[in-house]
Amino acid sequence: MNLFRKILPVAAVLLPLLAFADPVDINTADAATLSKSLKGVGMAKAEAIVEYRKKHGPFKNADELSLVKGIGERTVDLNRDDIRVGPSRK
């Protein structure tokens, strides 16, 4: 039982890091998918991404995501491996 008490806090920190999200296409994903798939992106930021995309057209690369209000370069860097940029579904 003593070992369990020592391991539990470590496991609680490491298990979320082991969860692998599927890559998400920022030009086609809806707000719900974006908020579930991107670290540091809640529903409000995900909706801002969708609105930006509607107003300005599809993203050309992951770095353009930082043009969305509330999305910084750090967020882009955290998610870079999971961001895909495909054609828009207009």
Phi and psi, residue 40, nearest 5°: 80, 10
Q: Would you say residue 64 has pLDDT above 90? A: yes
The pLDDT of residue 22: 83
- pTM attached to this predicted model: 0.74
Ranges of each domain in the chain? 21-84
The pLDDT of residue 77: 97
CB atoms within 10 A of CB 24: 18
DSSP string, 34-90: HHHHSTT--HHHHHHHHHHHHHH---SSGGGGGGSTT--HHHHHHHGGGEE------
Phi and psi, residue 84, nearest 5°: -115, 150
What value does the mean pLDDT take over residues 61-85?
Answer: 97
21-84 CATH choice from 1.10.150.280, 3.30.470.20, 3.90.930.12, 2.40.10.340? 1.10.150.280
| Host H or E run for residue 30 | none
The pLDDT of residue 4: 62
pLDDT band at 9 (very low <50, low <70, confident <90, very high): confident
Q: What percent of the chain has pLDDT over 70?
A: 79
CB atoms within 10 A of CB 52: 18
Q: Would you say residue 15 has pLDDT above 80? A: no
